[in-house]
Amino acid sequence: MSESVQEHRRRLAARGFKRVELALPEADANLVRTIAKVLMKDDGSAEALRAAIQRSVPEQTRVSFKEWLESPD
């Protein structure tokens, strides 16, 4: 990884951002990018989006890695 990329990531971390990588259907990639951009603004629209997502996504209990491996899902 280049030094400039490392520095960019350090600056993001200093601002409280967390870099994540995920796999999802190609059709959802632009949607997830758009959501991430809105959330990065941390303004009223970001708060409204967070609230809508939290209402829409059921809360899940944490499971251990072993429990996750043993689960049928």
pLDDT at site 6? 93
pTM: 0.67
pLDDT for 3 beyond 90: yes
- 11-26 pLDDT, tens digit each: 999 999 998 999 999 9
Burial 45-60 (b: 16+ CB within 10 A, else e): eeeeeeeeeeeeeeee
Looking at residue 47, what is its pLDDT? Answer: 96
pLDDT of residue 68: 83
In this structure, what token pair is assigned to residue 48?
A: 């409204």
pLDDT in tens, 27-61: 999 999 999 999 999 899 999 999 999 999 888 78
